[in-house]
Structure 1
Amino acid sequence: MKARLLFLVFLVAFLATNVTLGEIFNVTNLEEFQDALTTAESNGEDDIINVAEGTYNITSTLRYSTYDGDSGDKLTIQGAGADKTVLDGGGSVQILYIDTGTDGGDVTIKDMALENGNGGNGGGIYVHGSSINITIKECIFSGNSAEDAGGGVEADSWSGTITIINNIFSRNSAKYGGGVSAHSDSGITIINNTFSENSAKDYGGGVSAHSWSGTVTITNNIFSRNSAKYGGGVDAGSDSGTTIINNTFSGNSASRDGGGIWTRLYYDSAILNIYNNIFFDNTANAGGNDGDDLYVNSDGNGNSTGSTVNLYNNNLSGNANFDTGQSEDLFITETDNYSHGANIQQNPLFVDAENGDFHLESTSPCIDAGTNDAPHLPDKDKDGKPRIIDGDGDDITIVDMGAYEFGDICEGDFDCDGDVDGSDLAIFAADFGRTDCYFTGDCEGDFDYDGDVDGSDLAIFAADFGRTDCPCALNVP
Structure 2
Amino acid sequence: MYMEMKNNEKVGKKDQSQYGRVFSIVSLAVISFVVLLTTTYAVGATDYYVKVDGNDSLNGTSLEEAWQHPSYAAQQAQAGDTIYLIDSRANTTVTEEQITGTLTFTNNSTVVIGEGTNFTSELVPGNWIKSDDSNYGGKWYEIDSITNDTYLNLSIPFANVTHSSIAKKNLVWINEHVSFANSGNATHPIVMKAYNGTPTLIGESGDAVSNSKMYIVIEGLTIEGYETGFYILAGAGSTITNITLRNNVINDTLGIGMWLRGDIGSSKICNTTISDNIITNAQASYESGAIYMSGVYDSLIENNTILDTPDCAGINGGGVVRNTLVANNHIENTGGHGITFAYAENVTVRDNMLRDIKSRGIRFDYHCKDNKIINNTLKDVMGSGINLYPDTETVIKENYFENVSVYTSSPAYALFENNIWQNKNKKGVDFDGVADELILKNNVFVKCIYVRIYEVNNSGIIKNNIFMDSPLEVTNPSPITVTYNDFWNSSISGVTAGTGNIYVNPLFADPVNGDFHLKSQAGRWNGTDWVNDNETSPCIDAGDPNSSYSNETYPHGQRINMGAYGNTTEASRSPYHKIYLSIPMTIYSNGEYSYPEPPITYKDNQTVNITFNVSDTTNLTINSYTSSQISFTATNTTTDQKMNITIYNGTFRIINGKKYEIKKDGIVQQTKTASYNKVVFTNIPVGSDYVITEESGGKEHKLPVAKPVVVTGIAILIVVAYWRYRRRRRRMRSGGFIVLVPG
TM-score class, shorter:
0.5 to 0.7
Contact 2:302–2:327 (Cα < 8 Å) also in 1: no
Report the alpha carbon displacement of residue 93 of structure 1 after superposing the two structures with TM.
Answer: 4.3
SS at match of 2:482: strand
State how far apart, in whole Å, the 1-side matches of 2:230 and 2:625 are.
Answer: 52
Contact 1:162–1:184 (Cα < 8 Å) also in 2: no
Contact 1:242–1:273 (Cα < 8 Å) also in 2: yes
Deviations 1:234-293 (A, max 9, x none): 43541111001111111222xxxxx1x2123353xx1110110111022xxxxxxxxx2x
State how far apart, in whole Å, the 2-side matches of 1:24 and 1:425 are.
Answer: 55
Query: Which residue number in structure 2 is paired with residue 185 of structure 1?
Result: 391
- 1:452-467 to structure 2, matched below 5 A, reads 465=723
Contact 1:108–1:135 (Cα < 8 Å) also in 2: yes
Query: Which residue number in structure 2 is paired with residue 208 of structure 1?
Result: 407
Q: Does 1:316 align with 2:522?
A: no
Contact 1:249–1:279 (Cα < 8 Å) also in 2: yes
Letter in 1 for 2:369: G
Contact 1:236–1:242 (Cα < 8 Å) also in 2: no
Contact 2:326–2:348 (Cα < 8 Å) also in 1: yes
CA change 1:339–1:352 in 2 (3 A) is closer
Query: Which residue number in structure 2 is paired with residue 324 of structure 1?
Result: none
Contact 1:420–1:466 (Cα < 8 Å) also in 2: no
CA change 1:30–1:343 in 2 (3 A) is farther
Query: Which residue number in structure 2 is paired with residue 351 of structure 1?
Result: 509
Q: Which protein has the larger Cα radius of gyration, Structure 1 or Structure 2?
A: 2
2:375 to 166, 172, 184: 166
CA change 1:419–1:107 in 2 (3 A) is closer
Query: Which residue number in structure 1 is paired with residue 239 of structure 2?
Result: 44
State how far apart, in whole Å, the 2-side matches of 1:49 and 1:226 are.
Answer: 42
CA change 1:339–1:222 in 2 (3 A) is closer
CA change 1:128–1:66 in 2 (3 A) is farther
CA change 1:53–1:236 in 2 (3 A) is farther
Deviations 1:90-110 (A, max 9, x none): 545433332225xx5344311
State how far apart, in whole Å, the 1-side matches of 2:554 and 2:365 are.
Answer: 37
Could you say which structure has the higher strand fraction? 2
State how far apart, in whole Å, the 1-side matches of 2:473 and 2:386 are.
Answer: 20
- 1:181-330 to structure 2, matched below 5 A, reads 181-183=387-389, 185-198=391-404, 205=405, 207-212=406-411, 214-225=412-423, 232-253=428-449, 259=450, 261-267=451-457, 270-282=458-470, 292=471, 294-297=472-475, 299=476, 306-318=477-489, 329-330=491-492
CA change 1:262–1:55 in 2 (3 A) is farther
Contact 2:332–2:356 (Cα < 8 Å) also in 1: yes
Report the alpha carbon displacement of residue 75 of structure 1 after superposing the two structures with TM.
Answer: 6.5
Query: Which residue number in structure 2 is paired with residue 403 of structure 1?
Result: 564
State how far apart, in whole Å, the 2-side matches of 1:39 and 1:210 are.
Answer: 34
State how far apart, in whole Å, the 1-side matches of 2:239 and 2:316 are.
Answer: 20
Report the alpha carbon displacement of residue 339 of structure 1 after superposing the two structures with TM.
Answer: 6.1
Contact 1:368–1:390 (Cα < 8 Å) also in 2: no
Query: Which residue number in structure 1 is paired with residue 544 of structure 2?
Result: 371
CA change 1:46–1:135 in 2 (3 A) is farther
Higher relative contact order (CA 8 A, sep 6+): 1
Letter in 2 for 1:140: M
Letter in 1 for 2:331: L
Contact 1:65–1:99 (Cα < 8 Å) also in 2: no
TM-score, normalised via structure 1 length: 0.60
Report the alpha carbon displacement of residue 233 of structure 1 after superposing the two structures with TM.
Answer: 3.4
State how far apart, in whole Å, the 2-side matches of 1:236 and 1:158 are.
Answer: 17
Contact 2:417–2:443 (Cα < 8 Å) also in 1: yes
Report the alpha carbon displacement of residue 216 of structure 1 after superposing the two structures with TM.
Answer: 0.6
State how far apart, in whole Å, the 1-side matches of 2:410 and 2:454 are.
Answer: 11
State how far apart, in whole Å, the 1-side matches of 2:249 and 2:417 are.
Answer: 32
CA change 1:84–1:95 in 2 (3 A) is closer
Letter in 1 for 2:561: D
State how far apart, in whole Å, the 1-side matches of 2:219 and 2:407 are.
Answer: 33
Query: Which residue number in structure 1 is paired with residue 341 of structure 2?
Result: 127
State how far apart, in whole Å, the 1-side matches of 2:368 and 2:460 are.
Answer: 22
- 1:328-477 to structure 2, matched below 5 A, reads 329-332=491-494, 335=495, 340-362=498-520, 363-374=536-547, 386-387=551-552, 390-391=555-556, 396-404=557-565, 405-407=571-573, 413-415=591-593, 416=601, 420=605, 425=626, 465=723
Contact 2:442–2:465 (Cα < 8 Å) also in 1: yes
SS at match of 2:232: helix
Report the alpha carbon displacement of residue 351 of structure 1 after superposing the two structures with TM.
Answer: 0.8
SS at match of 1:354: helix
Report the alpha carbon displacement of residue 23 of structure 1 after superposing the two structures with TM.
Answer: 5.3
Report the alpha carbon displacement of residue 418 of structure 1 after superposing the two structures with TM.
Answer: 7.5
Report the alpha carbon displacement of residue 74 of structure 1 after superposing the two structures with TM.
Answer: 5.1
State how far apart, in whole Å, the 1-side matches of 2:346 and 2:302 are.
Answer: 26
Letter in 1 for 2:492: L
Contact 2:456–2:480 (Cα < 8 Å) also in 1: no
Query: Which residue number in structure 2 is paired with residue 3 of structure 1?
Result: none
State how far apart, in whole Å, the 1-side matches of 2:604 and 2:456 are.
Answer: 50
Contact 1:23–1:48 (Cα < 8 Å) also in 2: yes
State how far apart, in whole Å, the 1-side matches of 2:250 and 2:515 are.
Answer: 28
State how far apart, in whole Å, the 1-side matches of 2:414 and 2:465 are.
Answer: 16
Contact 1:388–1:397 (Cα < 8 Å) also in 2: no
Identical counterparts, % of pairs:
22
State how far apart, in whole Å, the 2-side matches of 1:233 and 1:339 are.
Answer: 19
TM-score, normalised via structure 2 length: 0.40
SS at match of 1:238: coil
Unaligned runs of at least 5 residues, structure 2: 1-212, 278-300, 521-535, 566-570, 576-589, 594-600, 607-622, 628-721, 726-743
CA change 1:162–1:223 in 2 (3 A) is same
What do you get for the CA RMSD once the two structures are aligned? 4.0
Letter in 2 for 1:370: G
Letter in 1 for 2:459: I
State how far apart, in whole Å, the 2-side matches of 1:40 and 1:105 are.
Answer: 16
